[in-house]
Chain A
Amino acid sequence: MKSNHHSPPSILLKFFRWFCDPNLVEDIEGDMVERFEKRIENKGHKKARRLFVRDVFQLLRPGIIKSFSGHQKLNQIDMLKHNLLISFRSFMRYKSAFLINLIGLSSGLACTLFIYLWVQDERGIDKFHTNDANLYQVITHHEESGAIRTQDDTQGILAEALEKEVPEIEMALQSTPAFWFGDMPLTIGDKTIKAPGKFVDKRYFEMFTFPLIDGTAESVLASKESIVLSESLAKSLFNTTEGLIGKTLHWQLLNMERTYQIGGVFEDVPANSTETFDFVMSYEVFSDIVGDGMQWGNYNALTYVTLKPNVDVDHLNEKLAPFVKNKVSWSNVTPSLRPYSDKYLYSKYENGVQAGGRIEYVKLFSIISIIILIIACINFMNLSTAKASRKAKEVGVKKAIGAQRKTLIFQYMEESFLMTFVAIVLAIGLVLLFLPQFNDLTNKQISLVFDTNLVKALGAVLVITGFIAGSYPALYLSGLNSITALKGKMKSSIAELWARKGLVVFQFTISIILIVSVLIVHKQIDFVQNKNLGYEKENLVLFANEGKVATNHDAFIDRVKALPGVVNASSTAHTIINGGSTTTGLTWEGQNPEIETSFGNISVFHDFIETLGVEVIAGRSFSNELVSDSSKLILNEKAIEVIGMTDPVGKMVNLWGQDMQIIGVVKDFHFQSLHETVTPMFFKLDPSFLTNIVVRIEAGQERTVVDRIESVYKEYNPDFDFNFTFLDQDYAQQYASERRISTLSRCFGGIAIIISCLGLFGLAAFTAERKSKEIGVRKALGASSVSIVRLLSNEFNKMVGLAVLIALPLSYYLISGWLEGFAYQIDLKVWYFLGAGAAALFIAWLTVGLQTFKAAKINPSQSLRSE
C-alpha cells in the first residue's frame, strides 16, 4: 500500500467528510485524492499538499456543504419549526397580551440585570489586589463599659511586633488612612496643589497591587525622604509622569513642612478601591511626628498583614487574641484579622461579632431582583392560563391526532423560552440605554461587558425564567381532556381559579410590602438627616488649618472674627461629623478599674462651643482671659452619667496622669455618625494641634462672607486654593450612600408595582373580553355603566384587598427588623401602612377601572351582533 508520505493530509480529509453533503462525499473525495496523486508525480509532494488544501477550502460552498437540517429529515426539527411558527402566530394575533408579557418580562429582566451588575461591582471592591486571598487587615476589639467596640485603628507599633513574633504572618505593615489629614498642600516652584495622601510602610507597594509606572515596589519608599505620586497628581504638578524620580517638592501639614524627593509614580487608584489617595510618604516620618506617642495605648495606624499559604485564619485569630494583653497587662484590646476585601461589605461589628454592613444592601437587592423577576413570571403564567380557552381547540386537535402530553409540554415550554429570549435581548438593550442614568444614581462606573460570568448568568436567567414562566401553562394546557377541549366548553376548575387568584394576591402582597418598605426607608433616612444634632449645622463653614494660617493661627482667627457677617470663629482637631480621636486615658475617683470607658477627645480653641452652638447646661465655657483653662475640661451629659457624678462642676478627674478640673457640662450633641448613639466625650483646650477652622456666619449672605474669609486666607496663603465646605453639606454627604440606596429601592419598588399592574391590566382586559356578551345582555336590559364597572372590578378588588390584609402585618414585621439597626428610629405610624395599602388599591382600581370602563361603554349591539 501507499506510504503515509503520499497520502493527503488526513485531518483535512476528515474535515471534508464532516462538512460535505453525504450524497457527494465519495466521488468528490475520490476526485481529490486522484488529483493529489497526479500532482505528486507532476509537481512534487509539497505543492500537491498545498493545492490539496486549496481544493478542500474551495469546496466550502453552498451546494457542497450538507444542509443544516441534517441528512435525514428529523421529526424533532420539523416540530421545533412548527412550534416556533405557532408561537409567532399567537404573538401576532394577540398583540396586547404579547406586549404586556414582553414589557413586563423585559423590564423585570432589565432590573435583574442592573442589580446583578451592581452586586458584582459591590462584591468586586478591593478584590483587585493580587494577593487578595492572603491579605488581611488587623482590627481591634475594645472592651469598654461592659460592651465591645470594634475599630479599624490599631497601635502604630503593632505591625512590627506581629511580623517578628507570629510565624504564620508573612508580612505586616502599617499605614495611616488618607482621611486623617484631609488634602495636604504640595508645592513645586510657585505651583501648589492640595491632594489626599497618607503615610505608609516602605513595603506598601509590595503588599498592595497599585501598579507603579515609574520605580520598583522595593525601592520607591526606601528613603525616608521619598514621596510617591499618583499618575494624575504627577501630571497636574509636572505635566508628565516620566523622569520625575529624584525631583523635589515641598509638603506641608499644619505647621510642619518637609522637602521630599519623588521616589516613583503609581497608576491612579482604581474606582473599586476603598482607599483613595494621591500620594504616599514613609510611615517613619509619621512616627517621628508622633514621637513617644507610639505606644500600646495609642491608636495611630491601620495594620495590614499577609499570611503564609495554608494558614487557618480562625485558629490564628484565637492565637492572636491575647497578643496585646501579653504586651501590656492593663490593655482591654483583642486584635483579630479580617480579610482585606471584606472591609467594604462587612464593616459592622456588634459587641465584637461581625454583624453585616453593606452586604445587607447587597442581599436586599438580590432578593428584590428575584422578586421582580417572579412578579414578571407570574404575569406570563396568569395570562397564558387565562387565555387557555383560545388554545384549547389547538390542544384538542393535537391530542386527537395523537400528540403526547410530552410534546405539548415541550411546545409551551418552547413558547415561554422564546418569549424569555426576546425579553432578554430587549432587556440588554434597556440596560445599555439606561446605564448612564444608573451610574449617576449609584455613583459607580459600571459598564456592560459580556464576559463569561455575565453570559453564564444570562443563560441561567434564561433557563430559570423560561422554566418558571412556562411551567404552569405547559403543565395545565397539556393536561386538558381532548374531548372537552374540542367541544370548546372550557370550564375553569376551582383549583385553576384559585391558582390564578393566588398568584395575583401573591404579586400584590409583594408589591405592597415593597411600597411600605420604600416609604419607611425614605422616612427613616429623612429623619436621620434632619435630626436635631444638638447644635445648628447650618451656616457653618469649615476649612483646613494649614500653611501660614496654621503658624499664625490665633491672629488669623481674630481677623476672621472681626469680619462683617461672621458670627464667631474657632478651630478644633475634630472632624465634627466623622468622629475623631478617642481615649481611655480619663480616670476618676471611684472608677471601677475593671471597666474601661472610651471618651471622645475633642481638642478645641477658644469659642468653639459657642461657634458650634452647643448648649452649656452647667458651669461655664472656656474663657479667653484665663490661661489656666488648659488644665480644665468640659464634659457632655453622657460622660457625667457614665462617671456617675452629681454636681460635677469644679470636681477633678485625671487625664493621662494629669489632674483636670471640670468647669462645665454641655448638653449631649452628635459628633459621630447617627448609626451610633451619643458617647461620652470631653472638650479640652489645646491650641497645639488644631486641624479644622470653623466659622459661623450670618444666614442670607453666605457668598459674600465666604469671599471675605477667602481674601483674609489668601493674605496668609497666597499660593493655596481656598477649599471650604459647609457643615450641613458634609453631613448630607455622609448619608449619600444611604440616600442612594433609598432612591434605588424606590426605583425598583416602582418597577415592581408597574409590572404587577401590567399583569392585572392584562387579566382585566381578558375578563372584560370574555364577559362581553354578558355585558351586552345586561346593558340591553338597562344596566348602567357604573354597575357594570362595579361588577367587573369586584373580583379584582377582593384579590387586592386580600393582598393588603396579608401584606401589612408582614411588612410591619420586616421593617421593624430593619429599623432596629439604627440608633435613632422613626416611630412607625399607622398611616404609613394604611397609606401604602390604599395606594395599592387605588393603583389596582385605576388599572382595572380603565379596562372595565372601556368594556362597559361598548354598544351592546356590537357585542351581541356576532353569533
Chain B
Amino acid sequence: MGKNHLGEFEEIVMLTVAILHGEAYGVAIIEEMESRLNRTVSIGSLQVVLKRLEQKGYVSSEFGEATNIRGGKRKRFFTLTNLGKGLLKTSRDQRLSLWDAAPDYALKAISI
C-alpha cells in the first residue's frame, strides 16, 4: 500500500463516482451516497475530498454544459483515472485476501 492509502470516505466517494459513471457531479454523488449508504454528506466535506483526490490524481474532472437549472452554473463531472481505478482494485483485492485469510468461525457472529 505505502503512500497510496485510501481513507474510508475517499474510497466510498471514488466508488460512487464509478457507480454514476460519467454522470458524477456534486449533488448527484451526495444523493447517491445518501440513498445507498443512509448517511448524510455535506457539500463541504465532499468537495474537500474530491479536491484532494483530484490533486492525488485518482479522479479527473471537466465542466459540463451550462443549463437553466442550478442558477445557470455548470456542473463539474468527475471520472476515475486509471490510477484511481487501479487503486480501487488493489484496495478490493487486499480486502478480499484478508477476508479469505480470516477463518469462518472467527467472523461468525456469536449466538444471535
Contacts and interface: CB of A to CB of B under 8 A. Distances in A.
Interface of A: 7, 24, 26-35, 37-38, 54-55, 58-61, 63-64
Given A33-B70, A63-B51, A27 B26 contact: yes
B103 interface: no
B19 interface: no
Interface string B9-33: 0000000000000000111001000
A28 B42 contact: no
Tell me what chain A mostly uses at the interface: helix, strand, loop, or mixed: helix
B43 A63 contact: no
Contacts of A24: 47, 51
Nearest to A34: B70
B41 to A, nearest CB: 10
B73 A64 contact: no
B61 to A, nearest CB: 8
Interface of B: 25-27, 30, 42-45, 47-48, 51-52, 63, 69-71, 73-76
Interface centre among B26, B63, B74 (most CB of A within 10 A): B26
B76 A27 contact: yes
Given A61-B48, A63-B51, A31 B74 contact: no
Contact of B43 (A26, A28, A37): A28
B43 A31 contact: yes
A54 B42 CA distance: 9
17 contacts: A26-B74, A27-B25, A27-B26, A27-B73, A28-B47, A29-B73, A30-B70, A31-B27, A31-B47, A31-B70, A33-B71, A34-B70, A35-B27, A59-B42, A59-B47, A61-B48, A64-B44
Interface secondary structure of B, over-half rule? helix
A101 B27 CA distance: 59
A30 B26 contact: yes
A61 B44 contact: yes
Contacts of A31: 25-27, 30, 43, 47, 70
Contacts of A37: 69-70
Nearest to A31: B26
A24 B42 CA distance: 15
A26 B69 CA distance: 14
A34 B51 contact: no
A33 B48 contact: no
A276 B107 CA distance: 87
Contacts of B43: 28, 31-32, 35, 55, 58-59
Contacts of B26: 27-28, 30-31, 34
A28 to B, nearest CB: 6
With most chain B CB atoms within 10 A of its CB, the pick from A7, A55, A64 is A64
Name, among A27, A32, A60, the residue most crowded by chain B CB atoms within 10 Å (CB to CB).
A27
A29 B71 contact: yes
Counting from the closest, the 9 A-B pairs by CB-CB distance are A30-B73, A31-B26, A27-B76, A34-B70, A33-B71, A63-B48, A59-B44, A58-B42, A58-B44
A63 B52 contact: yes
Contacts of B51: 24, 63
A62 to B, nearest CB: 8
A64 B30 CA distance: 17
B79 to A, nearest CB: 14
Contacts of A59: 42-44, 47
A38 B27 CA distance: 10
A54 B27 CA distance: 15
B72 to A, nearest CB: 8
A29 B52 CA distance: 19
Contacts of A29: 71, 73
Contact of B75 (A7, A27, A63): A27
